[in-house]
Amino acid sequence: MKEYTTRQIRNVALIGHGSSGKTTLAETMLFLAKVIKRRGTVAEGNTVMDFDEEEIRRKISLSLSIAAIEWKGTKLNVMDTPGYTDFVGEQKSALRVADLALTVIDAASGVEVGTELTWAYAREEALPQMVLVNKMERENANFDKAVAALKETFDAQFLPILLPIGAEAGFEGVVDVLAQKAFIGPEGKAAEIPAEMAEAVENYRSQLIDIAAESDDELLMKYLEGEDLTEEEIVGGLKRAIAARAVVPILAAAGQSMVGVRRLMDLLAEIAPSPADRGPVVVEGPTGEEELPVDDTAPLAALVFKTTADPYVGKLTYFRVYGGILESGATVYNSRAETEERLGQLFVLRGKEQINVDRLHAGDIGGVAKMSAALTGDTLCSKEHVIKMRGPNFPHPLFSVAVYPKTKADTAKMGSTLTRICEEDPTLHWHQEPSTKETILAGMGEAHVETAVRRIKGRFGVNLETRTPKVPYKETITKTAKAQYRHKKQTGGAGQFAEVHMRLEPLPRDTGFEYVWEVFGGHISSSFMPSIEKGVKSVMAQGVIAGYPIVDVKVAVYDGKEHPVDSKDIAFQIAGREAFKEAFRQARPVLLEPIYTFRITVPEEFTGDVMSDLNTRRARVQGMEQAGKKSVIIAQAPLAEMQQYATNLRAITQGRGIYSMEFSHYDIVPGNLAQKIIEEAQREKAA
């Protein structure tokens, strides 16, 4: 592959609802660019972009994949993203390094759930956007209806510039408003504009010239003085307007039949913004924020936006160069890890194919193998000019499972394998939950976590079982109580003796544990003070009423007895432990449960249903906000009632509801529920 400079590069993220045809479109683009001789299909599992075993099995895209396509003097870095909402991390990674978001919608289905979600993600990144009304050959395909739905749903200035000739089985070509020509069939043969479309084309052409003129003061003056703009000025003006997010062009095509795709690629090369057109990027430099121009002469800056763990090749690191030129064999500085690392052979990607390159210019996207320290979101720069760039903005996980190894061999490899899979996908997290002694794997939804577990088995040979996690309850007390315990053990040799008098007092929530020594007159030697505390802490770790950790308790040792020969460390540990248990049971113990704050965003028509459902989950609604045509419900609810909420919310809102959750505090479990939890814990212990 030849070298491409910044102005020749187009970084395009294909986003949209699942099954809108993004992967098929990318496959057709590869075919038209003569990169592949035969097009694969998603159904057959033989496309360039969906190469992962899980993608082939499920017949949907699950990961971001990249294809470098050479087209008419430009390099299109096409990023195919999953449409399913569970895989939001892949969408956000692509959008972070793209210069254009191409939203693909189904001409029959119009704007769908995934369209709205991915549109919002593109807006978060302030990305220029274009829309492709795809599948124009489908039954019930309706371009005008799709355009109307876009205008109704999104706040943007839309302008159709690639119009369909016919629809459904009669879809035969497209009319390019910019070129003022028709292009017929998969080959895109130039032809005259059909007479019945002339008026619509003229109308859109007039709007296009207005937008082009408004993009530049000199052009606007020329236009207002009645002079005609040249074709070059119109194209340049439209390109500036797209880069400034002043207009969202709409195009029509059919990825499967290939009609219109050739012209789509021409327009991407012609009017999609290059990295240089987006202007400088803000980075954190040695002296604060600075602007980094996107060109080869700028200080080196490359952002790692994805890593993958390959059991054979090792770790693959994908990055976009923002400033400077990156060369194979160069030494780079990782500003997060604060370490230097020598790069191996650089490559660009076409699905899983790695095409070796000597260097990558500012704005380009590539990869390298076997970087040890690099993680998603890291900045690679030079040690002489250390900078940090913002990584992709990943949401917190919403759905958790407890994972258990099936065999001893799986046990040994489980921790390191979970770490590798979570490094690859930062929307997956794992941790050991000390209160339940479970290993928790959390992701964006059931399908996301299930896919991760299957990948762990397929790639690393580690078999994991999943279960619903136990809720990490805690135990505490609500009143002051006293108890005493005497430990006496006499054997043939030396005996054991210790007596401890103890008082327990409740502490404010989240205070933790306080241990005080109130023994006077030498009834117990202060040397046994740590022994009693050790005994108390051993009980606090495993609980008294239901096996959960004990919190927010003050323990005061105020009296006791010792024996000059038989008193020893172990005796006071036992006495402290048993005195604590006795006092705890008398101090009106309660269970505490974790309460989370939820922000639930739903279309207005589902607000009532969501509120009714929350009422059944012991939730307390804190307030409501409006966000356009959507309601944002803020509520606090116990984790015990919300563990499967990702699945439930989708069912209630037809997949159109989203939420985020954040830990708030621990609160007392209602008595009737607490009793059931305690009985269940006792049954488990007996079993």
286-342 pLDDT, tens digit per residue, is 889 999 999 999 999 999 999 998 767 789 999 999 999 999 999 999 999 999 999
Return the axis-axis angle of helices 261-271 and 22-32, rounded to nearest 10°: 80
Q: What's the mean pLDDT when you consider all of the chain?
A: 95
- Give dist(CA 434, CA 458) in Å, integer: 29
pLDDT digits (tens, 9 = 90+) for 482-503: 999 999 987 766 789 999 999 9
Tokens describing residue 237: 């003006």
Output helix, strand, coil percentages for the chain, rounded to the nearest 5: 30, 35, 35
In the chain, the percentage of residues whose pLDDT exceeds 90 is 89
The residues pairing with 196 across neighbouring beta strands, listed in sequence order, are none
Which alpha helices (DSSP H) does 22-105 contain, by range? Answer: 22-32, 53-58, 88-97
* Per-residue pLDDT, 447: 92
| The pLDDT of residue 273 | 98
Measure the CA–CA gap between 286 and 384, rounded to whole angstroms.
Answer: 10
Q: For tokens 């049971």, name the residue.
A: 585
CATH architecture of 6-278: 3-Layer(aba) Sandwich (3.40)
**What is the edge-to-edge ordering of all strands in the sheet holding 399-405?**
429-433, 438-443, 399-405, 464-467
Domains 402-467 and 591-673 share a fold: yes
Confidence band for 520, pLDDT divided at 50, 70 and 90 = confident
Alpha-carbon gap, residue 239 to 245, rounded angstroms:
10
Mean pLDDT comparison of 38-47, 112-121, 249-258, highest-scoring range: 249-258
Residue 263 has pLDDT above 70, yes or no: yes
CATH class, 591-673 region: alpha beta
Alpha-carbon distance 546 to 421, whole Å?
34
* Residue 344 clears pLDDT 70, i.e. is over it: yes
CA–CA gap between residue 247 and residue 240 (Å, rounded):
10
User: Residue 599: beta bridge partners?
Assistant: 634, 660
Whether 190 contacts 182, CB under 8 Å: yes
Buried b (16+ CB within 10 A) or exposed e, 390-417: ebbebbebbbbbbbebeeeebeebbeeb
Q: Which residue(s) pair with 490 in the sheet?
A: none
Delimit the domains of the chain by residue range. 6-278, 281-381, 402-467, 475-587, 591-673
Distance of CA 45 to the CA centre of its chain: 25
Residue 575 has pLDDT above 80, yes or no: yes
Mean pLDDT (whole number) for 564-576: 92
Host H or E run for residue 559: strand 553-561
Taking the C-alpha atoms of residue 101 and residue 265, their distance in angstroms, rounded to an integer, is 14
Rounded distance between C-alpha atoms, residue 194 and residue 237, angstroms: 27
Contact by Cβ (8 Å): 667, 639: no
Cβ-contact 29, 102 below 8 angstroms:
no
What whole-number distance in Å separates Cα of residue 317 and Cα of residue 333?
A: 15
Is residue 181 within 8 Å of 267, Cβ to Cβ? no
User: Considering only the top CATH level, what class is 281-381?
Assistant: mainly beta
Instruction: With a cut of 90, say whether residue 142 has pLDDT above it.
Output: yes
Whether the CB-CB separation of 238 and 251 falls below 8 Å is answered with no
Lowest-confidence segment of 136-145, 550-559, 561-570 by average pLDDT: 561-570
**Three-state SS sequence of 329-341:** CCEEEECCCCEEE
Q: What is the pLDDT of residue 313?
A: 74
The tens digit of pLDDT for each residue in 8-39 reads 999 999 999 999 999 999 999 999 999 999 99
Task: Enumerate helices (H) and strands (E) in the chain, giving the number of each.
Answer: 17, 35
Reported as a single tens digit per residue, the pLDDT across 188-222 is 999 999 999 999 999 999 999 999 999 988 889 98
Location of structure tokens 């210019």: 361
Q: How far is CA 555 from the centre of its chain?
A: 44
Q: Does domain 475-587 have CATH number 3.40.50.620?
A: no
Rounded to an integer, the average pLDDT of 623-636 is: 91
Torsion angles phi and psi, residue 101, rounded to 5 = -100, 115
What are residue 161's phi and psi, to 5 degrees? Answer: -125, -10
452 vs 614: CA distance, rounded Å = 29
pLDDT at residue 492, rounded to an integer: 64
According to CATH, the topology of domain 402-467 is Alpha-Beta Plaits (3.30.70)
DSSP state of 299: P
The residues that bridge with 455 in the sheet, in sequence order, are none
| pLDDT above 90 for 592 | yes
DSSP string, 175-233: EETTTTEEEETTTTEEEPPPGGGHHHHHHHHHHHHHHHHHT-HHHHHHHHTTPPPPHHH
Place 419 in a pLDDT band, splitting at 50, 70 and 90.
very high
In the chain, the amino acid numbered 270 is E
CB-count exposure of residue 10 (10 Å: 0-12, 13-18, 19+): buried
